[in-house]
């Protein structure tokens, strides 16, 4: 390396080897800080929003070109394009390269060891800035030509829809109980139905992870009746094996149990509509892949990448849109059969949630969304620009506290009158159940002695999106820190959607004796009650721990829990840093634990309405208010049309 040259380390994986070889280098983190990372995320979100507005064919944007029964299909396409394709990853790379080049002002750049696509985008960014680049410039990726695997996947999805319709026809129409009150349709996810022991009665009962006590409380109300429709597989996707798939196909979903699966409403009429939509989506894909406007749309800050994004366009049109329309039609069929007075759901900003909201709007059914997790500024699906009022939104939304209300108004442009601050039924239930728990006996059952400090880990091992952090990269260092402290026991509760295997592999490799992995179905609330501290990265369990007066340690900062750390409510450890000092502080330093406790009270008053025990009461009152405002639902009408 010549004089005056800088070796910029793109990946931390090679840092140790360079240090041992005595080669000086500069890590990217030393050039770009947290504010740059925020700007990169903002760039990706802005690019996606603008992609939907750009003229693609005959001066019309995606938002104008593609619709279904009066609903723009952009509201489903944007989620897939942003979260499930490589397009926004490329935007992030280009923005990062621009920022690095602006900070370092090199005259020449050479890449060594970068992945082919990274090298290609770096070369193009250098070209856009007039910087000489040395090395190959193309990744060899296919362009906007035929995406054969995506096309085959789309055809297979059509076959699966037909098979689902045949299975539903064989199972017959789901029987509905006689209604003794106004029926409330709860839209749930099958993977989040679990079993747990009631601490007051000792009985084991089935419950829905997010709705929890709300469903039985609605059933207990003399004027209401709960009816639950579930979507998705019974086993979460990351834990779903071949036997789970076979079991899903063999059973008639929801025959018995607490819910009816939405596939029971996949009629032949739903299949015909999905088939029609798939054919129209395929025609739209053939048109757009030849469109100069679509090619130009796949670019950012003077860097084109349409030649890298052929699969992205194909998958958005051929996979996401038919799936979204099938979801809409299934929900429309469920609403027509159940005829509820109101729809209650969570994850309402997801693809399934938006489909359900659009169908309920068409059917004249009022909708109520229940906040189910932490809302943060980078939550893309909750961000709406002022010109996005036609995106399917719930009629009313029950939020935990004023913090969520402020965010939805400022970044989501929600109507303030549509938001009700209710608190969280789950948080209220935590406080009630904690009073009935014998903490000593619970700790003993988990193998924690009186002298042990018990740490519970609750996080995803792998992130589900580029905007979400996970604990995988920090877990080895955490396990080593636990072993070094000696009288600390660490119990890992994997996320319900993930297997335990990745954690177990790290523990075996380190031969850690004081770190154990529990089943993903373990009762997290019992674990938090037994714990002396919670360790996480991005999880609602952080707030749940605060509700139970347990200190929280956040790893791999900055994360979407950064505000919690900034307000002094939790301790944070930066990505790549040793967690041992912070773990020692959160477990053993009385002054720090006292300071965290004082900050928790102020935080919970803003985030969860102080956890006053009345959240379910407020939500039930909101349901009654909505039911009284609306009459019986009318039938859905209108045929879907893709195109203007």
- 76 and 321 in contact (C-beta within 8 Å)? yes
pLDDT at 88 over 50: yes
Confidence of residue 179 (pLDDT cuts 50, 70, 90): low
Mean pLDDT of 334-340: 95
How many C-alpha atoms does 567 have within 13 Å on its Cβ side? 17
Mean pLDDT of 294-318: 96
Smallest Cα–Cα separation from 445: which of 436, 457, 454?
454
Confidence of residue 636 (pLDDT cuts 50, 70, 90): very low
- 314 and 341 in contact (C-beta within 8 Å)? no
- Contacting residues for 403 by C-beta, under 8 A, at least 6 apart: 375, 606, 607
Q: How far apart are CA 172 and CA 253, in angstroms?
A: 11
Global pTM? 0.85
What pLDDT is attached to residue 298?
A: 97
Least confidently predicted of 224-233, 361-370, 544-553, 603-612: 603-612
Domain 430-607 has CATH 1.50.10.20: no
Checking phi first, is residue 135 left (phi over 0); if not, alpha (psi -120 to 50) or beta? left
Q: Which runs of consecutive H residues, i.e. helices, occur in 211-318?
A: 214-220, 242-250, 268-288, 292-297, 310-315
Ranges in the chain annotated CATH 3.40.50.2000: 430-607
What pLDDT is attached to residue 252?
A: 55
Query: 636 or 608: whose pLDDT is higher?
Result: 608
What pLDDT is attached to residue 200?
A: 64
pLDDT at 255 over 70: no
**pLDDT tens readout for residues 13-50:** 677 677 777 888 888 888 998 899 999 999 999 999 99
- 266 and 330 in contact (C-beta within 8 Å)? yes
Strands of 37-79, DSSP E:
67-68, 71-72
**pLDDT tens readout for residues 118-130:** 999 999 999 999 9
- The full length of the chain comes to 644
Query: 336 or 612: whose pLDDT is higher?
Result: 336
**pLDDT tens readout for residues 124-159:** 999 999 999 998 766 555 455 557 889 999 999 999
Average confidence score pLDDT of the chain:
89
Confidence of residue 2 (pLDDT cuts 50, 70, 90): low
Mean pLDDT of 581-598: 94
- The secondary structure of 520-583 as a DSSP string is TTS-HHHHHHH-SEEEESS-THHHHHHHTT--EEEEEESSTTHHHHHTTSSEEEETTS--HHHH
pLDDT at 240 over 60: no
**pLDDT tens readout for residues 433-456:** 888 888 999 999 999 988 899 999
């Amino acid at each position: 390396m010549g004089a005056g040259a800088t070796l910029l380390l793109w990946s931390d994986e090679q840092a140790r080897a360079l240090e041992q070889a005595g080669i000086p280098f500069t890590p990217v983190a030393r050039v770009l800080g947290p504010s740059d990372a925020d700007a990169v995320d903002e760039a990706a979100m802005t690019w996606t929003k603008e992609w939907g507005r750009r003229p693609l064919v005959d001066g019309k944007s995606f938002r104008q070109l593609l619709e279904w029964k009066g609903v723009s299909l952009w509201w489903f396409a944007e989620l897939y394009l942003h979260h499930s394709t490589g397009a926004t990853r490329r935007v992030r790379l280009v923005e990062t390269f621009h920022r690095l080049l602006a900070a370092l002002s090199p005259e020449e750049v050479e890449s060594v060891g970068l992945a082919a696509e990274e090298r290609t985008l770096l070369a193009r960014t250098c070209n856009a800035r007039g910087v000489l680049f040395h090395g190959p410039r193309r990744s060899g990726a296919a362009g906007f030509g035929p995406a054969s695997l995506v096309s085959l996947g789309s055809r297979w999805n059509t076959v699966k829809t037909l098979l689902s319709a045949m299975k539903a026809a064989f199972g017959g129409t789901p029987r509905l109980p006689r209604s003794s009150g106004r029926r409330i349709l709860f839209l749930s996810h099958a993977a989040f139905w679990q079993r747990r022991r009631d601490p007051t009665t000792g009985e084991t009962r089935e419950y829905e992870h997010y709705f929890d006590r709300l469903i039985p409380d609605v059933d207990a109300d003399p004027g209401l009746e709960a009816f639950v429709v579930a979507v998705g597989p019974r086993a979460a996707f990351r834990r779903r094996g071949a036997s789970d798939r076979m079991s899903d196909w063999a059973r008639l979903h929801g025959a018995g149990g607490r819910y009816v699966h939405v596939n029971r409403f996949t009629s032949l009429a739903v299949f015909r509509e999905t088939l029609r939509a798939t054919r129209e989506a395929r025609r739209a894909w053939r048109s757009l892949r030849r469109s100069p406007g679509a090619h130009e749309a796949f670019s950012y800050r003077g860097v084109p990448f349409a030649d890298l994004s052929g699969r992205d366009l194909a998958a958005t049109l051929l996979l996401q849109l038919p799936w979204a329309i099938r979801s809409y039609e299934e929900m429309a069929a469920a609403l027509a059969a159940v005829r509820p007075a109101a729809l209650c759901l969570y994850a309402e900003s997801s693809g399934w949630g938006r489909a359900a909201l659009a169908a309920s709007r068409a059917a004249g059914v009022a909708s109520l969304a229940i906040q189910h997790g932490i809302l943060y500024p980078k939550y893309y699906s909750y961000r709406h620009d002022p010109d996005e009022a036609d995106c399917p939104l719930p009629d009313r939304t029950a939020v935990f506290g004023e913090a969520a209300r402020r965010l939805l108004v400022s970044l989501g442009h929600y109507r303030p009158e549509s938001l009700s601050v209710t608190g969280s039924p789950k948080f209220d239930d935590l406080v009630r159940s904690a009073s009935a728990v014998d903490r000593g006996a619970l700790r003993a059952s988990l193998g924690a002695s009186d002298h042990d400090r018990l740490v519970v880990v609750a996080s995803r091992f792998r992130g589900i999106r580029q905007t979400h952090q996970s604990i995988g990269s920090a877990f080895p260092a955490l396990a080593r820190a636990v072993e070094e402290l000696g009288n600390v026991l660490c119990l890992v509760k994997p996320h319900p959607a993930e297997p335990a295997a990745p954690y177990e592999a790290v523990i075996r490799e380190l031969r850690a004796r004081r770190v154990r992995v529990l089943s993903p179905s373990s009762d997290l609330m019992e674990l938090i009650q037994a714990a002396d501290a919670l360790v996480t990265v991005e999880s609602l369990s952080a707030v749940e721990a605060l509700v139970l007066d347990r200190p929280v340690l956040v790893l791999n900062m900055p994360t979407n829990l950064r505000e919690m750390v900034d307000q002094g409510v939790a301790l944070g450890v930066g990505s790549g840093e040793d967690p041992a000092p912070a773990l020692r502080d959160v477990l053993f330093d009385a002054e720090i634990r006292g300071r965290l406790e004082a900050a928790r009270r102020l935080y919970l008053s803003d985030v969860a309405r102080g956890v006053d025990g009345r959240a379910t009461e407020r939500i039930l009152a909101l349901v009654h208010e909505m039911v009284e405002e609306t009459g019986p639902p009318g039938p859905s009408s209108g045929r879907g049309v893709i195109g203007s």
